[in-house]
Structure 1
Amino acid sequence: MRKGTRKHGRVTATRKVTESFTMVEMFERFMWFKNSEGLAPRTVEEYEIHFQWLCDYFGKDLSREEMTTEAFLGWVDFMVHEKQLKPNTVNIRIRTMRAFLRYCFMENLIDEPIHERFKPVKVAEEQIEALSVAEIKSLLNSFEESTFAGYRDKVMTMVLLDTMVRISELLAMKRSNVDFKAGTIKLEAMNTKTRKAREVPLSTKTMKLLKEYMDESADFGEDLLFLTYDGREMLSNTWRTRLHEVAELSGVKKAVRPHILRHTGALLYITNGGDPFSLQKILGHTDMSMTRKYVNMTNLDVKRQHNSFSPLRHVFR
């Protein structure tokens, strides 16, 4: 019976492994393929880091025969129970390696669909942490504006809160993409998580601060928007550290990280009457799942919203 011939109502198929590579050699082919897709440097780095952690667990390069479902499930068990990593951390590593294993199976480099059983672990619904209005004010008042670095950090915080961008998107912003007439900043596709360009809006107050900062930093002659005091590219870890230090001075007890500012901006946007569909577009989310979480967190405000937008308000006004 030939390949693909129906037998007992089912289609039979055979898989043939064309060549026998080791796991490291397979990964090198996989990364060549991913690089051809034009992945962001940060994404490429994540793939390589997660693969190195996988190799560290096995302690050696694996042959094709040693790449089994049981071997990879053992790695998950190790991360969850021995390393006691947070479920979200485990799942980030699983997702990148699943993409690798899916590629290996589709390219006939392995003959077992490991990726089908090698799935993310269950995660309890997390409460999104955000800053209160009072905490935002305390934080903004704690930047040392008499120095270039302090003033720059305040402007960065304002832009991050206002546009709700990711830290990688913030640090990749360019002067040439700031449009004060339209009140927007264009994020180029190569610098966004979804690899799609988008424009994020700015409030009048943030635009005023940003214009002053851009005038002051014009002498650097660089197109990158946010730079160090001597005109070099800002590193994400450096700015995270600076933000943490200012938060401690401000008396804010929460762990202030760039992503908490993104969450804070999104929650305030919804609370202030913004609709979830425009928020999804600003945040650059591909679906409504994350945006829906912000809406659910503002349920305490439902009564006030209902009073303002009740269907009967326009009937009996």
Structure 2
Amino acid sequence: MSKRRNNALTAEEIEIASEPIELDTLSFDEAMSRFISDGERRGLRPDTITYYRTKLGQFRRWLVSVDKVDKISMVLRQDIDDYVVYLRDNRGLKNGAINTSIRAIRSFFGFLYESKYLRNNPLKGYSLLSVRSGNVETFTIKQLRDLLNAPDKRTFIGVRDYTYMLLLLETGIRLSESAAILVEDVKLSEGVIFVRHTKNHFHRYVPIQAKMKEQLKRYLKLRGTCESNHLFVTLDGEAMKRSALQKIVAKYGKIAKIKDVRCSPHTLRHTFAKLSVMNGAGVFELQKILGHSTMEMVKVYVNLYSSDVYEKHKEFSPLKNL
């Protein structure tokens, strides 16, 4: 006769009884579906959802190659290390690009652990790879002039694209932010642009000066009335998509034969920051205009491009009076 069990559960048994049924049993696809659904429920931007889908999809394909896609609990910390090596050695990615994947995977596993779909989080405390500050690419003044002289201003597209690149250089706004600007967001009398589609969901105003205001006036006259309220439109009067805006800088960089620097909206953003710092912008002003939630990237710009330390060194150089 078997011994009668104790009706009262031990602490360990209570933990087992209260565990979610799906703990450690979800497949990668099921886990990713729940992660994306949670992001959509929380109102993450479409660009952010696309970013997660892309990076996690790439990670999934690698997991298939090592036969670890059936259960998400099969993924260990060593697998993450191996994936980083794969991205670096097989895909030829640099640390900055690899970090974009790590961030997505880290958020994914953090969600699964917090939602009690996983017993352990293999990404807990997983650090990003170091990125040298000197990797920030910017245009030279000559390259900027060549870039801005490339559009054919005898055409609507040329004027539109010139205005677009000038606006990126003047304000340092992100590609996704520029794609969402409406005509009503251009406050010429106040000398500001209202940025509504921000990375951190905090709307902000960015200042524009006389040259930019004059160019926007010219463009708005040529643009006229369209069915779309977006600032930048096609020949058919439809809103320009993010993908089309992304190609503008590369298009004119190729025409201007600019080499040794990536011709992209983000390079114009870096260039805005560089020139602003060199012209005396402070960290707080720069953070507000760029829309950074932390000072981390702003400090990189200041450390790279501030001329104050060089000017002051003329005064305190130990060799000055020798």
Map of 1:53 onto structure 2: 58
Whether the 8 Å CA contact 2:133–2:304 is kept in 1: the answer is: no
Q: Which residue of 2 aligns with 1:78?
A: 86
Task: Tell me which amino acid in the other structure corresponds to 1:18.
Answer: I
Matched, 1:128 2:131: no
Q: CA RMSD in A?
A: 2.4
Contact 2:110 2:121 in 1 (8 A): yes
Q: What are the equivalent positions in structure 2 for 1:5-84 lying under 5 Å apart?
A: 16-19=19-22, 20-59=25-64, 61-84=69-92
Unpaired runs of 5+ residues, structure 2, are 1-8, 316-322
Conserved 8 A contact 2:194-2:205: yes
2:222 aligned with 1:216: yes
Deviations for 1:254-280, whole angstroms, at most 9, x for unmatched residues? 332111111111111122222221111
Which residue of structure 1 aligns with residue 5 of structure 2? none
**Cα displacement (A) at 1:65:** 4.1
Cα 1:273–1:124 change in 2 (3 A) is closer
Aligned partner of 2:290 among 262, 283, 297: 283
The structural deviation recorded for 1:76 is: 2.2
- Matched residue SS, 1:116: coil
* Residue identity matched to 2:83: W
Q: Which has the larger radius of gyration?
A: 2
Counterpart among 266, 269, 277 of residue 273 in structure 2: 266
Deviation of 1:252 after TM superposition, in Å, equals 3.0
Contact 1:227–1:234, Cα closer than 8 Å, also in 2:
yes
When the two structures are aligned, how many residues end up with a matched partner? 298
Normalised TM-score (structure 1): 0.86
Q: Secondary structure at the match of 2:225?
A: helix
Distance 1:125 1:303, change over 3 A: closer
Pick from 155, 158, 167: which aligns with 1:159? Answer: 167
Percentage of matched positions with identical amino acids = 27
Q: Provide the rounded CA distance (Å) in 1 between the counterparts of 2:191 and 2:313.
A: 31
Q: Secondary structure at the match of 2:194?
A: strand
What displacement does 1:57 show? 0.8
Q: Partners in 2 of 1:164 and 1:299 — Cα distance?
A: 17
Stretch moving more, 144-153 or 67-76: 67-76
**Counterpart contact for 1:17–1:110, Cα < 8 Å:** no
Partner of 1:7: none
Letter in 2 for 1:259: H
Match of 2:222, as an amino acid?
Answer: E
TM-score, normalised with respect to structure 2: 0.84
